[in-house]
Amino acid sequence: MKDPISPELIEKYLTHSLPETEQAEFARKLKSDSALAAQVSDYRLAMKSAEHYGKIKLKERLGKMMTETKAEQAKWHNNQWMRIAAVILIFLATGSPFLFNYFNQGIDYQQIYTENFNLYPNVLNQRSDDVQKNVMLTEAMSYYSDKDFVNAFALLDELSKNQDSLAATVAFYKGICLLGAGKDEEAAEVFSNILSNPDESYKNPARWYLTLTLIKSGKQAEAEALLKEISVEKTYNYLKAEKILEELE
């Protein structure tokens, strides 16, 4: 076969992601191209291996295989398992969505986030002598309670322009509004700033909501690190943190 077939194309064929006409054309090529058929066979075995072993076990197996065969480089191309390992490593290097899904099979980050995202209680009281500010604050938290995060954030953002005793609290609720509105990166930045701030007022709940932000974004390793901190220190929502850790493991 003159033109090489890309790993992405083979993956799409095996997952039936190609348009119907392209799928049929690829199937016809397989019947007449033995080299392509062998390549597809290796990929199919690689996928099955990924499904069977999972991310951690697969990496451990690949590492062991690489070590054991280091002195047998001449036999590399004659060893079917090493061909499969090479295919998997290509997938890993190119960030294959198929293997990513198999490596993380059983973990639905969005579901974990949805099941654990609840509003932090409204602790913002009318403590200012500024009547206009109190009205705005009341309205903002009313939007917040109704999960109208866009309008809640807009009012809280306006309130945050005036530095006063409510600044840290307003910032915390702004982070929750950003998370609820789907602005995950901005929410993560807000919660991270709270954690790095000397003010201890909202560190524990901020750590919890930062963890949810990371889970929602699929950043499992970072989320697990925070979940372990919450669990060990038994801070805000530590029982939920322990449960999520079990799900992720």
* 131 part of a folded domain: yes
Residue span of the structural domain in which 129 resides: 109-248
Quickly state the pLDDT bin for 1 (edges 50, 70, 90).
Answer: very low
> Among all chains, which residue has been given the structure tokens 């709270």?
194
Which of the residue ranges 65-74, 149-158, 174-183 would you say has the lowest mean pLDDT?
65-74
pTM over 0.75, yes/no: no
Distance of CA 45 to the CA centre of its chain: 27
The per-residue pLDDT for range 90-134, each reduced to its tens digit, is 555 555 555 555 555 557 889 999 999 999 999 876 555 554 567
Verify that 157 and 79 share a domain, yes or no: no
Instruction: Give how many domains the chain has, as a whole number.
Output: 2
Verify that 16 and 128 share a domain, yes or no: no
**Which two structure tokens, joined as six digits, stand for 4?**
């090489």
Q: What is the pLDDT of residue 10?
A: 81
Verify that 80 and 162 share a domain, yes or no: no
Residue 229 buriedness (CB in 10 A; 0-12 / 13-18 / 19+): middle
* 1 part of a folded domain: no
Q: What is the pLDDT of residue 123?
A: 85
- The last residue of one of the domains, among 57, 76, 103, is 103
The per-residue pLDDT for range 194-240, each reduced to its tens digit, is 999 888 889 999 999 999 999 999 999 999 999 999 999 999 999 99
* 153 part of a folded domain: yes
* 155 part of a folded domain: yes
* 213 part of a folded domain: yes
The per-residue pLDDT for range 183-196, each reduced to its tens digit, is 999 999 999 999 99
* 2 part of a folded domain: no
